[in-house]
Amino acid sequence: MSAVIETHDLTKVYKGISKAQDVSALTNLTIEVNEGEIFGYLGPNGSGKTTTIKLLLGLIFPTAGLMKIMGESNITSPMVRKNIGYLPEGAYYPDFLRGEEILRYYGSLYGMKGANLKRRIDEVLEIVGMTRARNRLIRGYSKGMRQRIGLAQALLSDPGILILDEPTTGLDPVARKEIRDLLIQLRDQGKSLLISSHELLEVELISDRVGILFEGVLQTSGTINELLASREFTINAEAAAPEAIQQVREAGLSPEDSVAGSVVLRVPETMSLYDALEICKSRNMKIVSVAPRRETLEEVFVRVVGSAAKGKEHIEENPK
């Protein structure tokens, strides 16, 4: 698989008026986005997602490190630029323009014109479902409509790479689903997508690979399957006596769901499955089934970011 976006030890320090006011927004970031995949770029507020995106677009310059796009280190070369579509965070457009006018303006920046531009505008409006609203003023657009025009703008030059900074923020569930389907469709057409987001379920649903950032440092990355790989098991069991459930709880198993003596027990990561089954057996429980328990991306995120934050507190409390 070939990488269309690569960063190596990418570092960005925003300089303040004094050294004490410098902000280390990104530290030694090494990531890859492969051709034809959706890469979900996650992290809490202020963790450096937009900074990464701006660096990749050449809107700001790195303090250190390397970037390559389509194998090219000159990331602002016309060949690279033409092949990247970008949806900025909270895409704002002048209120007094019409949706179609925005697209005509951006098209002209790409050097598109005449019948060619008109045809492409028709196409992208159709793709994002904005054909009917094309002649309305942006002022009268809802948040979702603005976001769709933003996406249409990102798609104008039919780029192979899409970099989308929070594409579904502020959208209602139906619009969210529509945009999600559109992103999957674009991926299936062979495009490569880097998407920053706070919507963990959404990212879990559409991403092939994910990276989690905290305070400018990549905490983990991998395929969705690697990250959510089962670290725990659940045991589905039947308890003859009601007190058995309380007893297995005291022995370290967590009952998640129990109906009329039938109970789902979560085996903690720290306990072996064998020991857990022994506990059930010793309380005369009948084992119905055992299944690996996949984590949700939200659980992984909270665990990874939580332990990074804790590690940091520890360093601050005990400086060397």
The one segment of 49-57, 64-72, 218-226, 236-244 that binds ligand ATP by CB under 6 A: 49-57
- The CB-of-89 to ligand ATP minimum distance in angstroms stands at 6
- The CB-of-44 to ligand ATP minimum distance in angstroms stands at 7
* Overall size of the chain counted in residues: 320
Residues in contact with ligand ATP, counted by CB under 6 A, come to a total of 12
By a kind-dependent CB cut-off of 5 to 8 A, residue 83 interacts, out of ligand ATP, Mg ion, none, with none
The one segment of 41-49, 67-75, 112-120, 272-280 that binds ligand ATP by CB under 6 A: 41-49
> Can residue 47 be called a binding residue for ligand ATP (CB under 6 A)?
yes
Selected from 4, 32, 40, 48, the binder of ligand ATP by CB under 6 A is: 48
Phi, psi of 218 (to 5 degrees): -70, 120
Q: Write out the binding residues for Mg ion, residues 48-77 only, by CB under 5 A.
A: 49-50
Q: Write out the binding residues for ligand ATP, residues 84-123 only, by CB under 6 A.
A: 89
Q: Which three-class secondary structure string do you get for 147-216?
A: HHHHHHHHHCCCCCEEEEECCCCCCCHHHHHHHHHHHHHHHHCCCEEEEEECCHHHHHHHCCEEEEEECC
Q: Which of 151, 195, 170, 159 is nearest to 53 (CA)?
A: 195
Q: Tokens 């196409």, residue?
A: 123
Other C-beta atoms lying within 10 Å of the C-beta of residue 251: 15
User: If 0-12 CB within 10 Å is exposed, 13-18 middle and 19+ buried, where does residue 110 land?
Assistant: middle
By a kind-dependent CB cut-off of 5 to 8 A, residue 46 interacts, out of ligand ATP, Mg ion, none, with ligand ATP
- The CB-of-263 to Mg ion minimum distance in angstroms stands at 43
User: If 0-12 CB within 10 Å is exposed, 13-18 middle and 19+ buried, where does residue 289 land?
Assistant: exposed
> Can residue 21 be called a binding residue for ligand ATP (CB under 6 A)?
no
> Can residue 46 be called a binding residue for ligand ATP (CB under 6 A)?
yes
Left if phi > 0, otherwise alpha if psi is -120 to 50, otherwise beta: which for 125?
alpha
- Residues 154/87, Cβ–Cβ less than 8 Å: yes
Between helix 99-109 and helix 114-127 the angle, nearest 10°, is: 130
Beta carbon nearer to ligand ATP, 81 or 198: 198
- The CB-of-214 to ligand ATP minimum distance in angstroms stands at 10
Q: Which two tokens stand for residue 146?
A: 């603005």
- The CB-of-170 to ligand ATP minimum distance in angstroms stands at 13
> Can residue 7 be called a binding residue for ligand ATP (CB under 6 A)?
no
Kindly list the residues in this chain that would bind Mg ion in the complex (CB under 5 A).
Answer: 49-50, 89
Residues found near ligand ATP in the complex (CB under 6 A): 14, 23, 25, 43, 45-51, 89
